[in-house]
Every structure is written in C-alpha cells, then in structure tokens.
C-alpha cells in the first residue's frame, strides 16, 4: 500500500468518525428539544414526590413548544406552537418568571381564572377546600443519624389527581395567604413540601407562571442517588443509589 493510499484511508476513517459524532449530537439535540429532556432535582421543595438527587425525564411535547423549549432560548418567537395547557395536578418544569435563566419544577394547582388561597395549611380553589387527609409521617434521617418525623397529607384535587404533601406546621409563613386570582394565560404553582417551597404564593419571587414559560411535564425518574453524592461516583452506587425510585412515574 502506498503512502498516499494509506493517507486517504486515514482521512476517510476520520471523516466517518466525525460524521458519526455530528449525527449523534444532532439526534441528541432533536430528542432534547422536541421529545425528552433530562433534569435533576437540586432542592427539597417537592418532597417527598421528588427528592434531592432524583433525575427525571420531562416530555417537551406535552404543552407544545415556546422559545424556552430550545437550548438557551435561541429560537426567537413569542407564544407557543401546538399548544396544550397544563392540567391541574401536573408536575411541570418552567422558566422562573422573574429570572428565565432558572428552571423550576412545581405542581400545577391553579388554572387561568381560578381563585387560590391557603388557610391553616389547607388549599382552597374557588372557595372550596381541597380534600386533605393525614397519612403516615414522612421519616427523614440526617447524615448524623438523627431521625425527624414530618407530618404527611394526601391531597385530592377537584379533577381527581391525588398526591402527598409535607407540612410541618399549619402556622407557617405560607400556610395562611392572601387570595390570589390567576390571570388568563397563567398558572398557579406550588411545591409539595409546603413549608419549604418558594412558589406562586410568593409573588415577588415566582408569582403566576405564563404558559409560554412552561418547558414540559415531568414523566419518570430514570435515576436517583442519595443527597450529596455525585452521580459520577460509580463505585458508590451499590449503597447510594435509591434503586426503589428508578422507574417511578410522576
């Protein structure tokens, strides 16, 4: 084989490698933009539905697409295409209205036109109390081994969606609120960990979330690892991965 033939073969191999890499990146970008995007949970505001260290897939097509569906909001258009409104009870990822560089995940509680209020920890939608029943406590164990029991409640929304919430006290700062009227085209979002969630109850931080800001609906947990353990530390997985949470639907 001549030197020139050997060079052509190497160049051809490099070209094929680059082509495969580019195709893989384009496919990943298409999937991430239009189908599913992975997110991880950095805070405990959705306990115990979502825990710190959970990794989940969000369906990007559930509510249609806005400029926030694209990486870094690079596609400049307003509104949504193929739009579908979030349903009450959905766990959804959205861009924080006061800082769209930040992604938030909360539960949809109020729809456009609803009146929302919290009284002694009970959510009222259009003047009617959301059904709330005390169930078994949520048990937290700290790194030092200290055990804390947190009161847990099962809520059932008017459309039948049921989920669990945590509420340490009915006299917390956000357990008794003003009456909120959700504007048209907006939604009222709340975290399941009611005493430790900055959500639509705090108008200066989150407030009412425009439909345009929604990125997608949380669908399934594909990985979960204990608090403070980096996912890349594969050698710790046997005892740090929460195996029972993998595959959990949301």
**Which residues are catalytically annotated?**
45, 106
Both tokens of 52, joined, read: 């710190």
Partners of residue 105 on adjacent β-strands: 93
Residue 54, CA distances (Å) to 51, 60, 107, 221 in order: 6, 19, 16, 7
**Exposed, middle or buried, 231 (CB in 10 Å: 0-12/13-18/19+)?**
middle
Rounded Cα gap, residues 119 and 129, in angstroms: 9
- Percent helix, strand, coil in the chain, to 5, is 20, 35, 40
Assess contact for 59 and 219: CB atoms under 8 A.
yes
- Inter-residue contact 248 to 91 (CB < 8 Å): no
């Amino acid at each position: 084989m001549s030197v020139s033939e050997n060079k052509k073969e190497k160049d051809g191999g490099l070209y094929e490698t680059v082509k495969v890499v580019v195709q893989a990146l384009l496919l990943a970008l298409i999937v991430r933009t239009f189908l599913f995007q992975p997110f991880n949970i950095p805070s405990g505001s959705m306990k115990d539905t979502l825990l710190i260290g959970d990794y989940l897939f969000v369906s990007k097509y559930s509510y249609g697409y806005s400029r926030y569906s694209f990486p870094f909001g690079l596609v400049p258009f307003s509104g949504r295409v193929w739009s579908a409104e979030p349903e009450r009870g959905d766990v959804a990822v959205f861009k924080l209205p006061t800082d769209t560089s930040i992604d938030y995940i909360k539960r949809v509680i109020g729809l456009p036109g609803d009146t929302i209020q919290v009284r002694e920890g009970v959510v009222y939608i259009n003047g009617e109390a959301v059904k709330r029943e005390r169930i078994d406590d949520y048990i937290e164990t700290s790194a030092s081994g200290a055990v804390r029991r947190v009161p847990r409640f099962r809520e059932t929304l008017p459309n039948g969606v049921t989920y669990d919430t945590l509420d340490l006290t009915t006299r917390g700062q956000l357990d008794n609120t003003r009456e909120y009227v959700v504007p048209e085209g907006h939604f009222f979002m709340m975290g399941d960990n009611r005493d430790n969630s900055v959500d639509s109850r705090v108008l200066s931080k989150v407030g009412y979330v425009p439909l345009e800001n929604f990125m997608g609906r949380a669908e399934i947990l594909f990985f979960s690892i204990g608090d403070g353990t980096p996912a890349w530390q594969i050698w710790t997985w046997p005892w740090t991965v929460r195996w029972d949470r993998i595959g959990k639907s949301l």
